[in-house]
């Protein structure tokens, strides 16, 4: 089921472009900092944005598998956020 | 796919993109890590959930539509957990609060 | 009336399996996937049964479902209105934020209820749970409008009323809110009952907010 080109395709494509641009902008916060938690928050935002990009890609191609991709990305983003913030405070992930 | 369904999907995508925008702009504009977390972990989560909801409307109550619902629930369960951990670690590292009035209410006892 | 918990968890995992697999709307397909899900879910639930309490009161949990639905409804409404509020704060050129940390004493006491409340607070834009003090049973909430303490606390009390019923707590929804125990600066006003008894508590520290 390819998406109907009349209305949906431009909207979804615009959303894809916006989300990708936002991911790049969040990269600014990762580089700039100034503190480590700032970077972690920025990485978390990037993870959320990438989940949204995968979901948008599923809409744009009509390929349902990409929804599963977004779910897996959400899981990975969650675990990495937890691990990094744990590492930052405790100096170790699992004591 | 009929007309109404298409309109709903488009509207949800627009709303979701808007909240993603709000989340990232907040991340860039707000003065300290705690306020940035307000913008990013919630507005961005709502944006992503809205887009996943669009996926549910697009695919209907079967196939990938159900997976999108799981994704929404998962995002809403995990976003606060991540935010708690980051804010706690920020506070333990002694990242200062923005604004002269804002401060940690009580000394750490440990 | 208590039942073992792991079969229930297993069935819930099987339902989750149905959703993740994304079955087609066809009775045979649903049944087949559900059987596979039961096989995987029950074994996982059995292996990891030490991670949760062994028994649960099933009938009481079923009775709590209407309240849980109400809770989700109230929460979603709060989520949407507050998200629009934060969107305004982010996008407005003057950026009207007044961040502060508020001490919120809780009436709920069980782990599950406290977790639910804390997560709801975090998901509602403008407030963020930072820490939980187990001894004093208070949450530290960072509010983007934290200087207006009432506005932060008010929705939390509404959820708490539902959570008290859902998680079968000792206190009832009408009960007064405990005062903030010896907090230096939040003046610990309880927004609820008449006998909260915090009128004569000494206030130290500079900023008195919200009154």
Instruction: Tell whether C119 and C161 lie within a shared domain.
Output: yes
Residue after which a domain boundary falls, among C60, C77, C103: C60
Whole-complex ipTM: 0.82
Residues 63-102 of B with CB under 8 A from A: 63-64, 67-68, 70-71, 74-75, 78-79, 81-82, 85-90, 92-93, 95
How far away is chain C from the Cα of B7, in angstroms, using its nearest Cα? 20
Q: What percent of chain C lies above the pLDDT cut of 90?
A: 0
What pLDDT does B29 receive?
A: 81
Instruction: Tell whether C46 and C131 lie within a shared domain.
Output: no
Among chain B residues, CA nearest to A70: B71
Q: Does A38 fall in a domain? A: yes
Domain boundaries, chain B: 8-93
User: What does each C-alpha distance from A2 to B3, B12, C72, C91, C137 come to in angstroms?
Assistant: 15, 19, 35, 36, 54
Tell me which residue range forms the domain holding C90.
64-166
User: What does each C-alpha distance from A83 to A30, A44, A46, B85 come to in angstroms?
Assistant: 17, 12, 16, 10
The strand pairing partners of C131, in sequence order, are: C140
**For C73-123, how does the pLDDT look when each residue is reduced to its tens digit (9 = 90+)?**
888 888 888 788 888 877 877 767 777 777 777 777 777 778 888 888 888
Q: Kindly determine whether residue C22 and residue A71, on different chains, have CB atoms separated by under 8 Å.
A: no
Q: Does A21 fall in a domain? A: yes
Check whether C203 has a pLDDT greater than 70: no
Q: Does A95 fall in a domain? A: no
For B96, list phi and psi in degrees, rounded to 5.
-70, 155
Q: Does A82 fall in a domain? A: yes
Instruction: Tell whether C50 and C107 lie within a shared domain.
Output: no
Instruction: Tell whether C137 and C158 lie within a shared domain.
Output: yes
The pLDDT-based confidence of C195 (bands split at 50, 70, 90) is very low
The pLDDT-based confidence of C200 (bands split at 50, 70, 90) is very low
Check whether A51 has a pLDDT greater than 60: yes
The strand pairing partners of C127, in sequence order, are: C143
Per-residue pLDDT averaged across C175-180, rounded? 60
What pLDDT does C171 receive?
A: 64
Q: Does A3 fall in a domain? A: no
CB contact, 8 Å: C131 with chain B? yes
From chain C, the residues in CB contact with A71 under 8 A are 20
How far away is chain B from the Cα of A56, in angstroms, using its nearest Cα? 7
From chain C, the residues in CB contact with A68 under 8 A are 20, 22
Number of domains in chain C: 2
The strand pairing partners of C55, in sequence order, are: C4
Check whether B54 has a pLDDT greater than 80: yes
Given its phi and psi angles, is residue C205 left (phi above 0), alpha (psi -120 to 50 degrees) or beta? left
Q: What percent of chain B lies above the pLDDT cut of 90?
A: 3
Burial of residue C199 (number of CB atoms within 10 Å: 0-12, 13-18, 19+): exposed
The pLDDT-based confidence of C208 (bands split at 50, 70, 90) is very low
Instruction: Tell whether C91 and C158 lie within a shared domain.
Output: yes
The mean pLDDT value of chain B amounts to: 80
Q: Does C87 fall in a domain? A: yes
Tell me which residue range forms the domain holding A80.
8-90
**For B67-107, how does the pLDDT look when each residue is reduced to its tens digit (9 = 90+)?**
888 888 888 888 888 888 888 888 777 777 665 555 555 54
Highest average pLDDT, of A40-49, C90-99, C118-127, C188-197, comes from A40-49
Per-residue pLDDT averaged across C26-46, rounded? 85
Among chain B residues, CA nearest to A38: B33
How far away is chain A from the Cα of B12, in angstroms, using its nearest Cα? 10
The pLDDT-based confidence of B108 (bands split at 50, 70, 90) is very low
Q: Does A53 fall in a domain? A: yes
Instruction: Tell whether C112 and C130 lie within a shared domain.
Output: yes
Q: Measured between alpha carbons, how far is C177 from C181 in angstroms, rounded to an integer?
A: 12
CB-nearest to C22 from B34, B62, B81 is: B62
């Amino acid at each position: 089921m390819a998406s109907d080109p009349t209305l949906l395709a431009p909207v979804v494509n615009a959303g894809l472009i916006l989300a990708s641009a936002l991911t790049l902008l969040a990269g600014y916060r990762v580089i700039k900092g100034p503190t480590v938690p700032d970077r972690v928050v920025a990485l978390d935002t990037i993870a959320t944005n990438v989940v949204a990009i995968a979901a948008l890609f599923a809409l744009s191609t009509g390929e349902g598998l990409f929804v599963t991709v977004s779910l897996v990305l959400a899981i990975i983003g969650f675990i990495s956020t937890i691990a990094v913030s744990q590492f930052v405070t405790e100096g170790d992930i699992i004591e | 796919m009929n007309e109404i369904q298409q309109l709903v999907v488009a509207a949800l995508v627009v709303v979701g993109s808007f909240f993603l925008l709000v989340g990232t702009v907040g991340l860039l504009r707000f003065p300290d890590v705690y306020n940035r977390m307000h913008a990013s972990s919630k507005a961005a989560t709502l944006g992503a959930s809205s887009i996943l909801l669009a996926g549910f409307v697009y695919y209907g109550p079967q196939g990938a539509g159900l997976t999108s619902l799981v994704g929404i629930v998962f995002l809403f369960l995990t976003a606060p957990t991540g935010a708690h951990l980051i804010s706690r670690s920020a506070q333990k590292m002694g990242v200062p609060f923005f604004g002269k009035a804002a401060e940690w209410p009580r000394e750490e006892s440990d | 009336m208590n039942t073992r918990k792991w079969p229930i968890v297993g069935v819930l995992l099987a339902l989750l399996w149905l959703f993740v697999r994304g079955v087609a709307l066809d009775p045979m397909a649903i049944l087949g996937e559900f059987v596979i899900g039961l096989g995987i879910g029950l074994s996982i639930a059995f292996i990891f049964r030490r991670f949760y309490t062994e028994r649960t009161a099933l009938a009481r949990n079923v009775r709590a479902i209407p309240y849980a639905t109400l809770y989700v409804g109230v929460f979603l409404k709060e989520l949407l209105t507050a998200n629009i509020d934060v969107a305004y704060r982010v996008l407005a050129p003057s950026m009207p934020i007044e961040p502060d940390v508020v001490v919120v004493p809780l009436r709920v006491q069980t782990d599950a209820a406290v977790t639910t409340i804390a997560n709801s607070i975090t998901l509602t834009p403008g407030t963020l749970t930072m820490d939980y003090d187990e001894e004093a049973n208070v949450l530290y909430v960072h509010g983007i409008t934290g200087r207006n303490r009432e506005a932060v606390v008010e929705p939390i009390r509404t959820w708490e009323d539902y959570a008290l019923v859902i998680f079968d707590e000792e206190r009832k929804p009408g009960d007064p809110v405990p005062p903030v125990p010896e907090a230096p600066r939040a003046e610990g006003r309880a927004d609820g009952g008449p006998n909260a008894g915090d009128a004569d508590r000494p206030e130290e520290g500079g900023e008195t907010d919200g009154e």
